[in-house]
Structure 1
Amino acid sequence: MQHTILYKNAATLLALVLFTGTAGAQKTTQAVPGNNKSHWVQMNTREQLEYTTTSRGDRIMDFSYAGYEGGGVKLPEVKVAARVYPVAGDNTPNIQKAIDSVAKLPLENGFRGAVVLAAGDFECMQTISIAHSGIVLRGSGIATRIRMTGAPHVAIRLEAPVQTRPMSSKVPVTDVYIPSGTDVMTVADDKEFTAGDLVVITKPVTPEWVQFMGMDRLVRDGKKQTWITGELSLERTVKTVRGNRITIDVPFTDNYDAAFTKPAVTVQKIVKTGGLQHAGVEDLLIDAPEQSVTISQGHHSAIRTRGLTDGWIRNVQIRNTVNSVGIGGRRITVADLDIRHTVPTVGAAKPADLSADGAQLLFNRCAIQGDNVFFLATGAKVSGPIVLLHCTFTGNGWIQPHQRWATGLLVDGCNVPDGGIDFMNRGEMGSGHGWAIGWAVAWNCRAKTYLNQQPPGAYNWVIGCVGLPQQRAMPFDKEPLLPEGIYDAHGAAVIPASLYLAQLKSRLGGQATEATGYTGTK
C-alpha cells in the first residue's frame, strides 16, 4: 500500500519551545483528549501523514521499520521439535542437548523447530545457548520457571559470530547535506550498486564535528575524556538506483553534513555471513535470587542477543536479574516482557533493564517494576530505528539513551509515572558519554519529568506528552543551561494516538498493525 508524504517548511519552528520550566508545570497535570495536532507530524482527512521539515529538510523519521522482518509481520508459531522435562539438579545440560539436537535438523521455511520446556522448575547453573538459526526456546507459560542458581551468569544467549566482507570499493557520497529522516543519497559512481545490495554507509568522526558538538572539552578529575572516535556506520539495503541517486530501504537516522565529513561519507557493498536468523525465546519465567549489588559486581542477567536477525522475545517474565535484557542485532521484536525487582541495585551507577544495541528494534507492551535502574539505555554509535511502544515502567528509573551518539529512537505511548524520559548530554559521565542521543521522539507519553536537550545540528522532540519539563546544565556543571529540544503540544495528547502504528499502517496497511497486535488504530 503506497502512501503520500506531504511536507511543509518549518524554518520558523527551529527555536520552538512551547512550554519550559515552571510554565510547563502548569500544563502537565492531565493530557487533554480530542483532536490536538502536532506541528511536526499530522494526519490529514485522507489518513495520510504530513511531516513538517526543518529549513534543511530534516524530519521525524518513519520508525515503522522497527521489529521482526522489518515491522508489521506477525511473529510465527514454530512447530515442536523436542520436549524437555525438569530433573533434579542442573538442567542446563539437558536443555542444551535438546537445542543442539534440533540444530542438526534441516531448515524448513527458515525454521528447524521449537524446543519446548514442560511446566515445572528448571534449575540452571549455566547459560543456555542458541547459536544456530531457526530455533525457538519455548516454555509452557509462567508454569515453566528457569531458576538461576550457581555463579552469576546470563540465563539465555542467542548469539553467533558474524563475518562481514567488502564486495566493492568505498564510493564517496557527493551530497552537501543529507537530511535526517530521508532515504536518498547521491554517489560519485553508481556502477558498483544494484537493487538488493547490502551496503554499509560510513560517516567519519572528524575533529571538526567533535568540536562542533562541544565534545572536545570533556575533562573529569583533571583527565581528558574521549567522546567518540573512528566512524559512524549503518547498514541498509539498496532499494533503487536511478543514475547516481540511490534510495535505501530504511531512512537515515542521522544527518550527513559535508562541512564536517572530510574525508567524505562513503558507501560500500558488503556481504555478511554467519550470525543466526529466525530464532526466539517465548512463554517462560526466568527467576534469579535477589541481588542487592553494584553493577560492577557479578550478577545474574536474563537474555542476550548478538548477531541475530529477525528474532524475537515474547511473553517472558523476569525476576530480579541485573542488566536484564541486552538486544544486539537487526529486526528484532521484544513483546510482552515483564521485568520485576524486589530489591534495588546499589551505588550511583545504574544497570539497564533493556539495553538497545542494534537496529530496527521494537519493544512492544513491555513492563518493568524496580528502582535505581535505567529502564532503557542505548549503546555507543547505535543507529536505529529503535521503538518503545506502549510500555509501562514503574519505580525510580529513567528511559535514558546512554552514551556516545545513538540516533533514531521513538518512545511512543509509554508511561513512566515515577521516573523520567531523558534525551540529554551526559557530559563526562561514564568516561565521556557526552551527547547520548539525537533525532529522538517522545510521542504521547506520560512521565514524572522530561529532560529534553537539543544537540548542535540535530533535534530531539517531546510531542503530546504529560509531565514536568526540566532544564539543566551538563552533568557536573551549574551553567550554562543546555538548549532545550522541541516541546510540541505539551500537556495535550495529539493524533495519531500512536506514531509508530500510524506510520506502519500508512506504509503497509491495516493488516500490518493487526499483525503487531493492534486493531482499529488511528
Structure 2
Amino acid sequence: MKKISLLILLPIVLGLSVVSFVTKGQSHLNSNSERISSQWVFYNDSGKLNYKRLPAGDQIMDFSHAGYLGGGVMLPDLPVKITVSPSGDDDTENIQKAIDAVSEMPLFGDFRGTVLLAPGEYTISKTISIEKSGVVLRGSGSGLSGNEKSTLRLSGDPFNALSISENSAHHNNSKKEESNLVYTKISNKYVPSGANSFSVEDASLFQVGDLIVIRKPVTESWVKFMQMNDLVRDGKPQTWLTVGSDLITERRITEISDNKITVDVPLSDSYDLDYLNSPGVVVEKGMTRSPVKQSGIEHLNIVSPLQSISHTKSHFTALRINGEDCWAKDLYIQETMNSVGIKGKRITVENVTVSREAPHQGASKPAEFAPNGSQVLIHRCKVIADNVWFVATGKGIPGPIVILNCDFAGNMRAESHQRWSTGMLYDNVRAKNGGIDFRNRGSMGSGHGWSMGWGIAWNCEARDYVIQNPPGAANWMIGCIGASQPMPRPFNAGPNLPEGIIDSPGVHVAPASLYLAQLNERLGRKALENIGYEIESLDHISF
C-alpha cells in the first residue's frame, strides 16, 4: 500500500490545543502555523477532541467508523490460488470459472484466496461476479502507476463489469425464513444526532452483541414539519418520502444498562417524538443474513466503449459492491457511466479513478460514485468528467459516509442527491471547477426534496457550495475555500433557504482532517498507518 506521511503538530491556537495533519507533497493537508481551530470540533487543553452541541444536544458525529472493519484496519493481502492469462478471445468464462473454483475452496479464517489476472488485455462480455466470502479478483496493475496492467475491455451489449454480492435468489429466500420479530420502542422524547445511546421501553428483549434495526417512521406531521408536503412539478404533486414508510439504521449493541442501550456507531440522524408518534421509533432485533464478506477487487484497468449518450439509456457500468467488510482499490475506470455503486456496510474504496472523455448527454446526470451503504469510506479517489455527479447518494442512506482526500476535475458537483440521507462527510475534497452541496432539491427529479441532514464539508476546496439547513437539523461548511451560494428551493419563487452553519469560510481549520483526527483519537496512530497515512511525529500530543 502506498503510504502518505502525516506530521502531527500541536500548535496552541486561541488557547486551545489542536492537532494538524500534514501530508507530504500534498499542500491541501499542509499544516499552517496560522491555522485556527474550528468552533465545532476542536482539541481541549488535554489534547482530546471536544464537540460543540446544538441546543437540543445534536453534534457532529464521529465519522471514524467508516471503512473496512469499521475503520483503521489494513486491507488484507490474500494469497493467489489461481492465475488466469489472456486467451485472445472472450475471457469472461475463464475468469468466472476461476472465481467459482476459489469460491468453493474452504475458508481459512475469513478468507479463501485470490484469482490473479496476469498482465495483458481481457475481453469480457458479461458481469464477472464474486458471490462468496473471502474471494479477491486481482489484476497485475491498473496503469495508474507502474508499467504492468491487467485491462478488462468491455464488449457487446451494455452490462456491469464487476460485482461483489450474494446470489439474489439466496438473498430473497433468507429474508422469507425470518420470523418471531422482537421489538420495542425508543422512550426518549428526543435523541440527538451524534448520540451513541438511547433509552427504550424494554431493553430486556436484547443482549449485548445483538444487531438492531432502528426504524424512523415517515409520518405526515414530520413531512409537513420538513416543508416537504407541497412539492409540485409541471402541475403534478411530487412525493418526497412516502408516509408510512421507514428510514432504517442498523447498529450493534455494545452495552445495556437498565433500559438504556449503547451502540457501536453513533447515530447519524435525530429522533424527535413530537413528529414521530405515532407509531414511534421502533427498535427491533436484526434479521439473520449471510452477505458476502471479506471480498475485494484490486489493481485493474476497466475500459468501456465510448458512451456519448444519456445515462437513462442502457450503458456500461464498472463496479457494484453489496456486502460487508469488502473493498476496491487501485482501479482505473475509463468511459463507464454510473461507474461505482456501493451498498452494504463497512466498505472501503481507495485509489479509484474514473475518467470519461465522451460527453454525457442530457440534463439528468450519472453518479460516478454512489455510496448507498453505511460506514463507507471513499478515499484518494478521482473523477475526471463533465456533466456528471462526482458523488451522489440515494434515498434514506444512514451514515457515516466519508469522502476523504479526493479530487474531482470537471464542471459538476458532489452532493447528497435525494430524500434524506444523513451523516455524510466531505473531508479535504477538491472540486475547484465544480461544487459541493447539502441542499433542498425541491421538486427536482421526482421530488428529491431535502437530500441531507447532519452533513459536513470540512477543509474542502470548490468553486462554490450550496449548504442549507433543514428544519430541525443542520449541515456544516467548515474551513472551506470557495463561495457559499444562497438559493431558494428549485422551481419555487420563494425566498432563499436558510444557509447551513458556516465556520471559518475561506480559511482551513485545525484539525486538518476531521476523519483522521477522529480515527486517531479512537484507535491511535497505528490505525492511520493501516490506511496509508503515516504519522512521523507525535511530539507533545496527549492521547
Report if aligned partners of 1:33, 1:492 keep a CA contact under 8 Å in 2. no
Question: Is 1:54 paired with 2:68?
Answer: no
TM-score (norm 1): 0.92
> What does residue 516 of structure 1 align with?
531
How does 1:145-294 map onto structure 2 within 5 Å? 145-160=151-166, 161=168, 162=171, 163-164=174-175, 165=178, 168-229=181-242, 230-262=245-277, 263-294=279-310
How does 1:358-369 map onto structure 2 within 5 Å? 358-369=373-384
Report if aligned partners of 2:469, 2:500 keep a CA contact under 8 Å in 1. yes
Gaps of 5+ in 2: 1-30, 143-148, 539-543
2: CA distance, partners of 1:221 / 1:487? 34
1: CA distance, partners of 2:438 / 2:274? 25
Partner SS for 2:332 = strand
2: CA distance, partners of 1:177 / 1:33? 41
Superposed CA offset, 1:37-78 (max 9, x none): 111000224321010001110000000000000000000000
> What does residue 301 of structure 1 align with?
317
Match of 1:326 among 341, 352, 355: 341
2: CA distance, partners of 1:154 / 1:471? 38
Report if aligned partners of 2:212, 2:253 keep a CA contact under 8 Å in 1. yes
TM-score (norm 2): 0.89
> What does residue 379 of structure 1 align with?
394
Question: 1:32 and 1:506, CA in 2 relative to 1: closer, same or farther beyond 3 A?
Answer: closer
Question: Is 1:470 paired with 2:485?
Answer: yes
Partner SS for 2:313 = coil
Question: Is 1:483 paired with 2:501?
Answer: no
Report if aligned partners of 2:183, 2:205 keep a CA contact under 8 Å in 1. no
> What does residue 3 of structure 2 align with?
none
For 1:495, the aligned partner's letter is A
2: CA distance, partners of 1:84 / 1:458? 52
Q: CA deviation at 1:35?
A: 3.0
Structure 1 residue ranges, 4+ long, deviating more than 4 angstroms after superposition: none
For 2:82, the aligned partner's letter is A
Report if aligned partners of 2:219, 2:276 keep a CA contact under 8 Å in 1. yes
Instruction: Number of aligned residue pairs: give it.
Output: 492
Report if aligned partners of 2:35, 2:507 keep a CA contact under 8 Å in 1. no
Match of 1:413 among 421, 428, 436: 428
Quote the RMSD (CA, aligned, Å). Answer: 1.4
For 1:93, the aligned partner's letter is E
Q: CA deviation at 1:34?
A: 2.3
Match of 1:451 among 466, 470, 486: 466
Partner SS for 1:215 = coil
Q: CA deviation at 1:275?
A: 1.7
Partner SS for 2:418 = coil
2: CA distance, partners of 1:34 / 1:95? 54
1: CA distance, partners of 2:486 / 2:184? 42
> What does residue 40 of structure 2 align with?
40
Q: CA deviation at 1:166?
A: 5.5
Report if aligned partners of 2:96, 2:129 keep a CA contact under 8 Å in 1. yes
The sequence identity of aligned pairs, in percent, is: 46
Q: CA deviation at 1:213?
A: 0.4
Q: CA deviation at 1:167?
A: 5.6
Q: CA deviation at 1:476?
A: 1.4
Superposed CA offset, 1:188-210 (max 9, x none): 11111111000101111000000
Report if aligned partners of 2:432, 2:461 keep a CA contact under 8 Å in 1. yes
1: CA distance, partners of 2:358 / 2:459? 30
Partner SS for 1:360 = strand
Report if aligned partners of 2:292, 2:324 keep a CA contact under 8 Å in 1. yes
> What does residue 73 of structure 1 align with?
73
2: CA distance, partners of 1:147 / 1:451? 38
Question: 1:189 and 1:358, CA in 2 relative to 1: closer, same or farther beyond 3 A?
Answer: same
Report if aligned partners of 1:32, 1:491 keep a CA contact under 8 Å in 2. no
Superposed CA offset, 1:406-442 (max 9, x none): 0000000110011000111111111101100000000
Report if aligned partners of 2:487, 2:497 keep a CA contact under 8 Å in 1. yes
Q: CA deviation at 1:272?
A: 2.4
> What does residue 128 of structure 2 align with?
128
Q: CA deviation at 1:33?
A: 5.9
